[in-house]
A and B are shown apart, each in its own frame.
Chain A
Amino acid sequence: MKILVCITHVPDTTSKISFTENNTKFDGNGVQYVIGPYDDYALARAVELKETHGASVTALNVGGPESDPTIRKALAIGADDAIRVNAEPSDSLFVAKQIAAIAQENQYDLILMGRESIDFNGGMVHGMVGEMLGMPSISPVMKLELDGDTVKMAREIEGGKEQVESQLPLVAGCQEPIAEWRIPNMRGIMSARTKPLAVVEPSSDEQGSQLQSFELPPEKGEVKMIDAENVGELVDLLKNDAKVL
Chain B
Amino acid sequence: MSILVFVESADGKVKKTSLEAIAYAAGIGGEVVAIALGSVDTSELEALGGYGATKVLHASDERLNQGVIKAYSSVIAQAMDHVGADIMVLANSSLGAPVSARVAIKVDASLASNVVELPETSSGFKVKRSIYTGKAFCIEELTKAKKIIAIKKNAAQISEGGNSVSVEPFQPTLDDSDFTTRIVSTEKATGDILLPEAEVVVSGGRGMKGPEHWGLLEDLAKSLGAGLGCSKPVSDMEWRPHHEHVGQTGVKVAPNLYIAVGISGAIQHLAGVNSSKYIVVINKDPEAPFFKAADYGIVGDAFDIIPKLTEAIRAQN
Interface residues of A, Cβ cutoff 8 Å to B = 11, 13-14, 17, 19, 37-38, 91-93, 96, 118-128, 130-132, 136-140, 142, 155-167, 170, 173, 175-177, 207-217, 220-221, 223-228, 231-232, 234-235, 237-239, 242, 244-245
Contact = CB atoms under 8 A, between A and B. Distances in A.
B121 to A, nearest CB: 13
B1 interface: no
Contact of A119 (B73, B132, B144, B292): B132
B242 A13 contact: no
B180 A136 contact: yes
Contacts of B139: 211-215
Contacts of B305: 228, 231
B31 interface: no
Contacts of A176: 242, 249
B14 interface: no
Given A93-B104, A120-B131, A228 B182 contact: no
Contacts of B98: 123, 126-127, 137-139, 173
Interface string B247-288: 011000000110000000001100100100110110000000
Interface of B: 67, 69-70, 73, 92-95, 97-102, 104-106, 109-114, 126, 128-144, 180-189, 192, 194-197, 200, 224, 242-243, 248-249, 256-257, 267-268, 271, 274, 277-278, 280-281, 291-301, 304-305, 308-309, 312-313, 316
Nearest to A41: B249
Nearest to B301: A228
Contact of B102 (A93, A127, A210): A127
A182 to B, nearest CB: 16
Given A158-B195, A234-B298, A14 B141 contact: no
B144 A157 contact: no
A145 to B, nearest CB: 12
B249 A242 contact: no
Contacts of B143: 207-210
Given A92-B111, A214-B137, A235-B316, 10 more contacts: A119-B131, A121-B132, A124-B104, A130-B102, A136-B69, A155-B94, A165-B181, A211-B138, A220-B293, A237-B296
Contact of B296 (A128, A162, A170, A234): A234
Given A13-B271, A235-B309, A127 B100 contact: yes
A128 B101 contact: yes
B248 A118 contact: yes
A91 B106 CA distance: 17
A209 B278 contact: no
Contact of B105 (A128, A156, A173, A234): A128
A173 B97 CA distance: 11
A212 B141 contact: yes
A156 B242 contact: yes
A238 B69 contact: no
A127 to B, nearest CB: 3
Contacts of A93: 104, 110-111
Given A17-B132, A164-B182, A244 B277 contact: yes
Nearest to B314: A235
23 contacts: A93-B110, A118-B248, A120-B131, A123-B92, A124-B100, A126-B101, A127-B97, A131-B105, A132-B105, A139-B97, A157-B67, A159-B195, A166-B181, A175-B249, A207-B143, A214-B131, A225-B296, A228-B298, A234-B309, A238-B257, A242-B257, A242-B278, A242-B295
Contacts of B187: 160-163
A208 B111 contact: yes
B186 A162 contact: yes
Contacts of B256: 244
B112 A160 contact: no
Given A118-B248, A238-B280, A223 B294 contact: yes
B248 A13 contact: yes
A229 to B, nearest CB: 8
Given A158-B196, A215-B138, A234-B296, A244 B183 contact: no
